[in-house]
């Protein structure tokens, strides 16, 4: 492509090349560089507003650098809680990659698919690192695009027997169940369930909702279960404080966030960061996912330990996936060159 052009990859371009990349390898490398200190996560720029009564909108701008891989860019992800009622995705955005030498933008990628894929990849990687026997009973809390992406990706990397789906809107849960059943032999059983039944019967739980009010108490979580909270506040404070193992991706991002429960618990002195002493009335984080991957923090030591993983979501994960997509797309001649 002419260097004076800026490449744009739309959702169709991205979908075409996603089969050619290994998203777990991409996010694992980003997390490994983060644990080694060769990756940088910039301060998150956030703006929130209410476009209509009862709606909440926000835009996030998250820059990142993977120095060892020569990847730098930013993730822009926007959302409006009222979009689904109007037939639109709740969240959408763009991922931009920059030339590491000149800092000029080199490619713009439609961001929603990349964000969903890297989210599921981080969860799948964490589930593999903390795997506690097989086959797996997977509980999905929330039945949106993120949950669907998790189920499809986890089916490739984990031995999943059954899937239990909870959504506050039962019809939405049933639609996802039908989609997963259509995947053929990936799962022996797919069913909708109440929240308590889904959590208590599973040994891997993925929370992927938009709730800001916790509703999953610690006593729902069976011994030996891995809970991955990729949404906001499904899991209550007791679960964070009492789980045997607690992992995050970046402690500074979590403590700086004013919305999520774990950040509030940190500011209240109930949870401290990896390597810090546990508070008198709380606990410390076991480690980051990158440290777990690099074996720089304790992992699962027995089958009875309940593990809670709370990934905030780092832009470097999106950038690692975006770079792999960009490389594959260029090799296929995909994308639309834009005049600068």
What is the CATH number for 332? 3.30.1780.10
Domain that holds residue 321: 5-115+316-339
- In sequence order, which residues have a C-beta less than 8 Å from that of residue 143 and are 6 or more positions away? 165, 166, 167, 169, 172, 173, 175, 176
pTM: 0.94
User: Do 184 and 263 fall into the same domain?
Assistant: yes
Residue 254: helix, strand or coil by DSSP? Answer: helix
Q: Do the domain assignments include residue 123? A: no
Return the pLDDT at 212. 85
Return the pLDDT at 280. 72
Q: Alpha-carbon torsion 279, 266, 217, 193, what sign? A: negative
Return the pLDDT at 258. 81
Q: Do the domain assignments include residue 125? A: no
User: Do 110 and 174 fall into the same domain?
Assistant: no
Return the pLDDT at 2. 53
Q: Do the domain assignments include residue 156? A: yes
Distance CA 215, CA 235 (A): 6
User: Do 179 and 259 fall into the same domain?
Assistant: yes
Q: Do the domain assignments include residue 281? A: yes
User: Do 89 and 16 fall into the same domain?
Assistant: yes
Number of domains forming the structure of the chain? 2
Return the pLDDT at 3. 63
Distance CA 1, CA 151 (A): 36
User: Do 164 and 205 fall into the same domain?
Assistant: yes
Distance CA 237, CA 282 (A): 10
Residue 202: helix, strand or coil by DSSP? Answer: coil
- Encode pLDDT of 264-312 as tens digits: 999 999 999 998 888 878 899 999 999 999 999 999 999 999 999 999 8
Q: Do the domain assignments include residue 120? A: no
Distance CA 126, CA 120 (A): 10
Q: Decide if 47 contacts 59 (C-beta within 8 A).
A: yes
- In sequence order, which residues have a C-beta less than 8 Å from that of residue 275 and are 6 or more positions away? 284, 287
Q: Do the domain assignments include residue 121? A: no
- Encode pLDDT of 49-84 as tens digits: 999 888 999 999 999 999 999 999 999 999 998 998
Q: Decide if 64 contacts 87 (C-beta within 8 A).
A: no
Return the pLDDT at 282. 87
What CATH number does residue 182 fall under? 3.40.50.720
User: Do 324 and 305 fall into the same domain?
Assistant: no
Distance CA 147, CA 119 (A): 10
CA 30 to chain centre: 13
- Quickly count: other Cβ atoms within 10 Å of residue 236's Cβ: 17
Return the pLDDT at 259. 81
What stretches in the chain show pLDDT beneath 70? 1-3
Residue 11: phi and psi, rounded to 5, are: -65, -35
User: Do 188 and 80 fall into the same domain?
Assistant: no
């Amino acid at each position: 492509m002419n260097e004076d052009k800026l490449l744009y990859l739309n959702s169709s371009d991205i979908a075409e090349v996603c089969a050619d990349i290994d998203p777990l390898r991409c996010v694992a490398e980003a997390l490994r560089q983060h644990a080694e200190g060769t990756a940088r996560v910039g301060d998150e720029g956030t703006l929130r507003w209410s476009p209509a009564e009862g709606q909440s909108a926000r835009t996030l701008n998250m820059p990142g650098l993977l120095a060892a891989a020569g990847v730098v860019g930013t993730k822009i992800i926007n959302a409006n809680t009222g979009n689904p009622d109007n037939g639109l995705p709740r969240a959408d955005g763009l991922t931009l990659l920059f030339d590491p030498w000149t800092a000029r933008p080199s490619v713009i990628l439609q961001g929603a698919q990349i964000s969903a894929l890297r989210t599921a990849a981080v969860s799948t990687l964490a589930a593999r690192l903390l795997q506690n026997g097989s086959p797996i009973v997977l509980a999905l809390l929330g039945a949106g695009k993120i949950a669907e992406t998790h189920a499809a990706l986890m089916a490739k990397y984990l031995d999943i027997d059954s899937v239990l789906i909870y959504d506050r809107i039962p019809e939405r849960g049933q639609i996802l169940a039908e989609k997963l059943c259509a995947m053929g032999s990936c799962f022996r059983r797919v069913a909708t369930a109440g929240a308590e039944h889904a959590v208590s019967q599973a040994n891997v739980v993925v929370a992927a909702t938009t709730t800001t009010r916790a509703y999953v108490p610690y006593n729902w979580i069976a011994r030996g279960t891995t809970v991955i909270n990729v949404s906001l506040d499904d899991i209550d404070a007791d679960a964070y404080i009492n789980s045997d193992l607690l992992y995050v991706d970046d402690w500074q991002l979590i403590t700086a966030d004013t919305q999520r429960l774990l950040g509030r618990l940190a500011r209240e002195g109930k949870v401290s960061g990896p390597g810090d002493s546990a508070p008198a009335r709380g606990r410390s984080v076991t480690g980051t996912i990158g440290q777990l991957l690099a074996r720089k923090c304790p992992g699962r030591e027995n089958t009875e330990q309940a593990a809670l993983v709370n990934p905030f979501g780092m832009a470097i994960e999106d950038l690692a996936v975006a770079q792999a997509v960009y490389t594959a797309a260029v090799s296929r001649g995909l994308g639309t060159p834009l005049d600068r």
